[in-house]
């Protein structure tokens, strides 16, 4: 599924000062149109009605927790293509946020700077437009079908998050060539040095787990990055 062309960003957050700060900077810096919901249930409803180009979703919300909203949006065919950035105050939640089978596309930890969030939003909107090939790629038992956003291992469907999908696609495209963490970070996430390169490791670990035995094809190049084995 292609990304929504909408320039609208839905903010789901009950803290008024965070909403005000986000709204101000997103409208000013990106020309984005912002709509707001102040609890999880209202956020879910608005996301389904408005089909925004992106959702900024707080973890701690009245009525329905952010993770539940995220899960519901990501399991619904009508909304699963909408990128979601989760806001969290707790570093220990990050693994859960990105690790969910139907997890968020990205996360930002509070407190964050307006500049940081605007850069991430722009990066995600750009990423959503998709710059990778549409042709089916096969390696060993792994098949990646970018046009259908579909991955199989030995004919069995594997559910990947959009970040994991893009990581795998990059490695498949550049088979046999080492990809540095920095490069993967830039191309998969689309921003420069704002997040830690260890984020790449976290996502690769998740990806490997989902690929099972087929993950042996992804080699770690110590201190540098990753490579999909040649042949
Ligand atoms: Ca909150």
- Total domains present in the chain: 2
* Cα 92 to middle of ligand 1, angstroms: 16
* Cα 129 to middle of ligand 1, angstroms: 29
* Cα 72 to middle of ligand 1, angstroms: 18
- How large is the greatest C-alpha to C-alpha distance in the chain, in angstroms? 54
Q: How many CB atoms are located within 10 Å of the residue 171 CB?
A: 27
Residues 6+ apart with CB under 8 A from 130: 2, 3, 146
For 143-170, what is the mean pLDDT?
89
| 97 shares a domain with 17 | yes
* Cα 67 to middle of ligand 1, angstroms: 12
Condensed to tens digits (0 to 9), the pLDDT of residues 52-95 reads 999 999 999 999 999 999 999 988 878 888 889 989 887 767 66
* Cα 43 to middle of ligand 1, angstroms: 12
Instruction: For residue 175, give both structure tokens.
Output: 């088979």
When the pLDDT of each residue in the chain is averaged and rounded to a whole number, the result is 84
* Cα 14 to middle of ligand 1, angstroms: 5
| 206 shares a domain with 112 | no
Domain range for 162 is 137-228
| 209 shares a domain with 105 | no
The answer to whether residue 10 scores a pLDDT higher than 90 is yes
Domain boundary pick from 127, 151, 169: 127
Q: How many CB atoms are located within 10 Å of the residue 188 CB?
A: 23
| 105 shares a domain with 163 | no
| 211 shares a domain with 164 | yes
The answer to whether residue 129 scores a pLDDT higher than 60 is no
pTM of full prediction above 0.75? no
Instruction: For residue 112, give both structure tokens.
Output: 């964050």
The answer to whether residue 128 scores a pLDDT higher than 90 is no
Instruction: For residue 26, give both structure tokens.
Output: 């997103």
Asked if residue 168 belongs to a domain, the reply is yes
* Cα 99 to middle of ligand 1, angstroms: 21
Q: DSSP character for 136?
A: -
* Cα 40 to middle of ligand 1, angstroms: 10
């Amino acid at each position: 599924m292609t990304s929504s062309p909408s320039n609208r960003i839905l903010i789901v957050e009950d803290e008024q000062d965070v909403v005000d700060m986000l709204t101000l900077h997103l409208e000013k810096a990106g020309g984005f149109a912002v709509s707001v919901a102040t609890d999880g249930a209202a956020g879910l409803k608005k996301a389904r009605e408005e089909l925004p180009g992106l959702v900024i979703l707080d973890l701690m919300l009245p009525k329905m927790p952010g993770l539940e909203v995220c899960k519901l949006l990501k399991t619904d065919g009508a909304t699963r293509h909408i990128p979601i950035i989760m806001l969290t105050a707790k570093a220990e939640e990050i693994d859960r946020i990105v690790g969910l089978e139907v997890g968020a596309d990205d996360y930002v930890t509070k407190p964050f700077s307006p500049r940081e969030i605007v850069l991430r939003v722009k990066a995600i909107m750009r990423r959503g437009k998709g710059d990778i090939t549409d042709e089916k790629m096969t390696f060993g038992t792994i098949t990646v079908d970018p046009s259908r956003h579909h991955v199989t291992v030995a004919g069995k469907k594997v559910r990947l998050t959009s970040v994991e999908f893009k990581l795998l696609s990059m490695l498949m495209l550049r088979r046999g060539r080492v990809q540095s963490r920095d490069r993967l970070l830039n191309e998969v996430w689309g921003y420069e040095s704002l997040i830690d390169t260890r984020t790449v490791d976290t996502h690769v670990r998740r990806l490997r787990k989902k690929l099972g035995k087929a993950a042996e094809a992804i080699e770690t190049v110590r201190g540098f990055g990753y490579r999909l084995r040649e042949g």
